[in-house]
Amino acid sequence: MHPRDTLRETFVELIKSGKTSAGDEVYNMRDFNFFNEEHPFVNVSTPNETIEDGHDYGARRRILTVDVECYDTRDNGARFVDQLAWEIETIFHSNPSLNNTVENCRLQNITMAFGDNGSLALHGSILTFEVTYVTNIPPEEEGTVFLNLV
């Protein structure tokens, strides 16, 4: 499994265990139509990763952008996604190393969004985190990628 997928799963697990108002409706890069649901959802995605310049093998520092997208279609959805975003922000503020798996995890910004399909409104709040971690890529004959724990 690629370290990005491992980190997305870590985000999902931490949000679920944090008992947010989204409950178990927290997903790792899921494609689905939110408009058919009437309760909050969270989708975790990784739109960008920067890898520090260096050699092809060995330890490499990576900076991963993680978007935690909060959505709700209920009445007062803007208020609900604001509350959900605050719950999630609190979870990661108190755990900046993601259980000692990364160098740091820092909230960069929050974007509010709104969409309408004519019959239903979709409210959104997207929390963007910067996660710094290190991978170790051994020489080709070893063939395994490791996510270094800090």
pTM of the entire predicted model: 0.85
Interatomic CA distance for residues 144 and 140, integer angstroms: 8
Domain limits, the chain: 3-147
Q: Give 98-147 pLDDT, tens digit per residue.
A: 999 999 999 999 999 888 777 778 889 999 999 999 988 776 665 555 56
What number is the average pLDDT over the span 30-51? 80
The yes or no reply on domain 3-147 and CATH 3.30.2000.10 is yes
148 — pLDDT class (breaks 50, 70, 90): low
